[in-house]
Amino acid sequence: MRPILLACLIGTSSLAVAQSYPSRPITFIVPFAAGGSIDVAGRQIAGRLSSLIGQSVLVDNKTGAGGTIGTGLAARAAPDGYTMLLGTTSALGVSPAMYRNLPYDPIKSFVPVIEVTRGPFVLTVRNSLPVRNVAEFLDYARKSPGKLNFGSAGIGSVHHLAAEMLKQATGIDMVHVPYKGSGPAYTALMSGEVDLLFGSMPGPLLHPGKIRSIAVAGPKRLPGLANVPTFAEEGLSGVEAVFFWAILVPAGTPADIVAKLNTALGQTLRDSALLADFANQSMDATPGTPREIAEFMATEIPRWHKVVRGAGIKAE
C-alpha cells in the first residue's frame, strides 16, 4: 500500500475514533486515598463530567508513595482517552526530583488536558510567636538561628519544600519537624509544638485566635485573607510556593480526543454547582487550554527540582 494512502487511512480512522469518543466508561485515577480533599474534588468532577458526556467516569483510587503509584499506572495506560489522571504538584513536581527510577516522566509521559485548581501556600505561625509581618519574622529568625522549628505534612511534601524555599531565599536556619499529614501538623502548631508551617487554604482560616497568617507565597492576596500580604509585597522575592492539580492523559492520546476532553472538562469546571462545591473547600476552579497548563508545568516543575536539590532532600 502506498505511504500516502496509508497515511490517509490512518487519519480517517483516528478521526472516526475521535468522533465516536467516548463510547464506554472512562477511568479517572486519583492517586490518593478516598476521603481526602483531592479525592473529594475528583469525585465532584467525575459526577458532573459523567452527566455531561453521557458515559460513566469511574474514580479509581490508586494510592501510595506520595501519589507516584497511581501516576505511574496512568502513564502506562493505553493512550485512548479512557484513562485520565488527577495529577498533583507532589507527584509531578516534587517526587521526580526526590526518587530515582520513577515509572514516569512528568512531562514526557503525559499530555496535559486542563488545569483544575492552583493556590498558594501561606506562612502561618503559632499565635504566641511575637511576630506580625515578614520583617519581624526574619529578624526573629536571624536572632535565634536553629531555634525556630516548622511543621509539615511529611518529608518532601510541598509544605516542607515551601519552608525550604523560604530558607534558601533568606538564609535563615530553621528545624524541620515532619508529621503524617497536614492535620497533625496544624494540631502541633496550635499546641506550640512547632512555631510555624506553610499551609494551603482553608487551613489558615480554620483556627482563628490560635494561629496567625503572616504572608502569602503566591502572586496575589487571597479573598479569605485580604489583609495578609504576599511575600513580594513585603519586599521578599523568590518565595512562590503554589500547588496545582491538573487532569492529564497518557502520552500519545490523539489530539482530537484531548480537545474533546478539554471542552467537556472546561464546561464541568465552570458549572455553578461545582464552583459552589469548590468554594466550600476554599478552592477556585482554574480551567484553561491544554497549552496553558503544559506551559505552566514546564516552568513550575523545574522550580521544585531546584528547591529539592538545594535542600539536599532525599526520599527515605
Beta bridge partners of 57: 26
Q: Contacts for 295-302 with beta carbons within 8 Å, 24 or more apart?
A: 296/115, 296/118, 296/244, 297/92, 297/93, 297/106, 297/107, 297/112, 297/244, 297/246, 298/107, 300/89, 300/93, 300/242, 300/244, 301/92, 301/93, 301/96, 301/106, 301/107
Question: pLDDT tens digits, residue range 238-248?
Answer: 899 999 999 99
- pLDDT for the residue 138: 97
How is residue 121 written as a grid cell? 501556600
Residue 207 has pLDDT above 80, yes or no: no
Give the count of beta carbons closer than 10 Å to the beta carbon of residue 315: 14
The candidate with the shortest Cα–Cα distance to 278, out of 49, 54, 69, 40, is 40
Would you call 204 helix, strand, or coil by DSSP?
Answer: helix
- Cell output for 214: 503572616
Q: Which of 33, 21, 103, 107 is nearest to 66 (CA)?
A: 33
pTM equals 0.85
Domain with CATH 3.40.190.150 in the chain: 25-118+243-311
CATH number of 120-217: 3.40.190.10
Domain range 25-118+243-311, CATH class: alpha beta
Beta-bridge partner residues of 103: none
Task: Report the chain's C-alpha Rg in angstroms.
Answer: 21
- Residue 35: per-residue pLDDT: 84
C-alpha–C-alpha distance, residues 33 and 244, integer Å? 18
Say whether pLDDT at 10 is over 70: no
Q: Is 244:117 a contact under the CB 8 Å cutoff? A: yes
Residue of higher predicted confidence among 223 and 315: 223
CATH 3.40.190.10 domain residues, the chain: 120-217
pLDDT given for residue 5 in this prediction: 53
